[in-house]
Amino acid sequence: MALDKITTNIIEDDAITAAKIVAGAVEVDIRAGSVTGDKIGYLGDGTGNLSGTIANQQLHFGTAFTLTDNLTVNGDVTLGKVGDDGTGQSLTQNTSANRTITGTGTLRMGSSMSGRGRLGSGVTFPPGHVVNVTNRISGTRVVMSNAATHVMETISVNKTIAGSTFVITGTVSAAGDHSGFIQQGWKYGSGTEVLAQSTIYGAGVYAKTIGTHAVITGHTTTGAQDLVFRFYSQGGATNDRPFLTYNPNGTDSVNMGQSNSIFTIFEVLT
């Protein structure tokens, strides 16, 4: 006799294997919204209620969680948030009776899927990836005097990776002319100074901008160190200066506001 209906008690437990289910046969029959969080062990039930024994891995999202009974954690349970909105999380009980949390597993709170932070030491990036950026905006007017060396900026830069390279770019705001030949230098920490460009001489008293670009390699000491930018006379002449005024302003011309010199230091993986 043919069967027109197969009831549950006819099918033995574990009798139907994956090989007997056509690909996609179950997926198309799942009604939208019919699978809830309590059907997915890793997600928990989505209510914020905690009780009983948890022996597997579970991830619960929310800001407030409630112990509705004693909780035994023998697995790995995380009470997290989708985003880091700056607010905390709470874990309370729903009765005046004291609830207990016991077990051999781990219960974590405060995790989120998004937010700011530092990646662990095991994370690697491809060469050319920028891992740190330091900016300096200098807006103080300085009248230059004659000397063999002129330290323009001392910038604290944190080197995060020993094998990285510094790529430096910047613009010097200046006014007036003095020297047509004077050297730029960039030195990081106790490393060797890297020579960059010279200055611009235009035989005038007007404002000008001078570019600076340098690459520092081979410095493996990490941590915060001073990066020193200077103009200096390679020959040691003491009657030299790169220009008359650093970061000119209205004192130099009624047409000027306070100008700025801007420097950016990229730490790049190599």
- Domains contained in the chain, CATH given: 36-112 (no CATH), 130-268 (2.60.120.1340)
pLDDT at 89: 84
Per-residue pLDDT of the chain (270 residues; tens, 9 = 90+): 566 677 777 777 777 776 777 766 666 667 776 666 555 555 555 568 888 998 888 888 888 888 889 999 998 888 888 777 777 888 888 877 788 999 998 988 877 766 555 555 566 678 899 999 999 999 999 999 999 999 999 999 999 999 999 999 999 999 999 888 999 999 999 999 999 999 888 878 899 999 999 999 999 999 999 999 999 998 888 999 999 999 999 999 999 999 999 999 999 998
CA dihedral 245, 209, 250, 202 (to 10 degrees): 70
Sign of CA dihedral 143, 148, 153, 156: negative
97: CB partners within 8 A, 6+ apart: none
How open is the CA angle 135-136-139, to the nearest 5 degrees?
145
Measured CA to CA, the distance from residue 77 to residue 108 in angstroms comes to 6
Measured CA to CA, the distance from residue 144 to residue 175 in angstroms comes to 10
- Strand spans (E) along 64-190: 64-73, 76-81, 90-93, 101-102, 106-112, 130-138, 142-143, 149-159, 165-175, 183-188
Q: Percent helix, strand, coil in the chain (nearest 5)?
A: 5, 40, 55
**233: its two tokens:** 């006379």
